[in-house]
Amino acid sequence: MKTRSITLCVNGRDYTFEVPHNRTLLQALRDDLKLTDTKYGCGSGECGGCTVLINGKDNINSCLTLAAEMEGKHITTVGGLTKNGQLHPIQQAFVELGAIQCGFCTPGMVMKTASLLAHNPNPSEDDIRRGLEGNICRCTGYENIIRAVQKASQMINASATQCAGGACS
C-alpha cells in the first residue's frame, strides 16, 4: 500500500506522519494520532459522530474525508475547544443544560454547534434544528441539546474573547 507523508494541524499543533492513501481523516486522528475524542459511529457520514471543524469554521465528516487531502488544513476536534482546561462556552452550555447523556454523539454535536454558531451567531430554534441535522443523538431527543445551543449562542455573544469555532487561528 502506498503512503504519503502529510502534515496536519490538529488543535493548533502540527503533526507530520505517513498515511496510507486510503486512510480516512477519522482513522488518522484516532489510530495514528491517538486523538480519540472524535468518534466512529457509522463510517458512512450519517451519524455525525466524527464531525470536525476545518479552518475553524466548516464542519465535515472525518469518516468521509481522506487524511491525505487534508494536508495543510487546520482541524479542530472537541478536545481542541478546551483551552488550558477551561471549557469553551459551547461545552459549558452542554454541561449546564443537561445536553449530554451517553456522551458518544457529544463531540460531534459540539463541533457541529461550533460550525453553526460560527456561521450564524444568533440562530432561531429552527435554525438550530436545521443546523444540527446530520448528527444523530439516540439519548436526548435533541431537546436539551437545542437549549444548550441557544445558551451557548448567548454566552458567546456576551463574551468578546471567544469565537464559536474556537481553536485555530
* Shortest distance, position 129 Cβ to other proteins, whole Å: 4
Q: Which residues from 41-100 bind other proteins, rule CB under 8 A?
A: 41-49, 51, 58-61, 63-66, 68-69, 77-79, 81-82, 87, 91, 94-98, 100
- The one among 12, 15, 129, 155 contacting other proteins by CB under 8 A: 129
Question: Which of 55/159 has CB closer to other proteins?
Answer: 55
DSSP state of 160: S
CB 93 within 8 A of CB 149: yes
* Shortest distance, position 128 Cβ to other proteins, whole Å: 7
Residue 18, strand partner residues: 5
Number of residues that bind other proteins (CB under 8 A): 80
Q: Which residues from 132-151 bind other proteins, rule CB under 8 A?
A: 132-146
| Grid coordinates of 144 | 436539551
- The one among 10, 110, 114, 152 contacting other proteins by CB under 8 A: 110
Question: Which of 133/160 has CB closer to other proteins?
Answer: 133
Residue 60, strand partner residues: 52
Q: Is 2 left (phi over 0), alpha (psi -120 to 50) or beta?
A: beta
Q: Give CA separation, 89 vs 68, 83, 169, in Å.
A: 32, 11, 18
